[in-house]
Amino acid sequence: MASRQFFDPLTLLRLAPVISSSAALWFSHDQYFFLKVFLRIEEHDKVKPVIPAYFRKFFNGGVARLLPLYAITIGTGIANSYSRPAAAHLWYACGATFALAHFVFVPAVMWKVEHLANEENDAKGTGAEYLKKWLDVHTIRSIVADFPAWVCFSIAALKSLKSG
Q: Dump pLDDT digits (tens) for 103-154.
A: 999 999 988 888 888 777 667 778 888 899 999 999 999 999 999 999 999 9
Give the span between the Cα atoms of 29 and 108, in whole angstroms.
19
pLDDT, residue 150, reads 98
Q: What pLDDT score was predicted for residue 154? A: 98
d(CA 155, CA 98): 14
Cβ atoms 156, 95 nearer than 8 A: yes
The amino acid that residue 160 corresponds to is S
- Angle at the Cα of 25 (from 20 to 31), degrees rounded to 5? 125
d(Cα 42, Cα 48) in Å, to the nearest integer?
Answer: 11
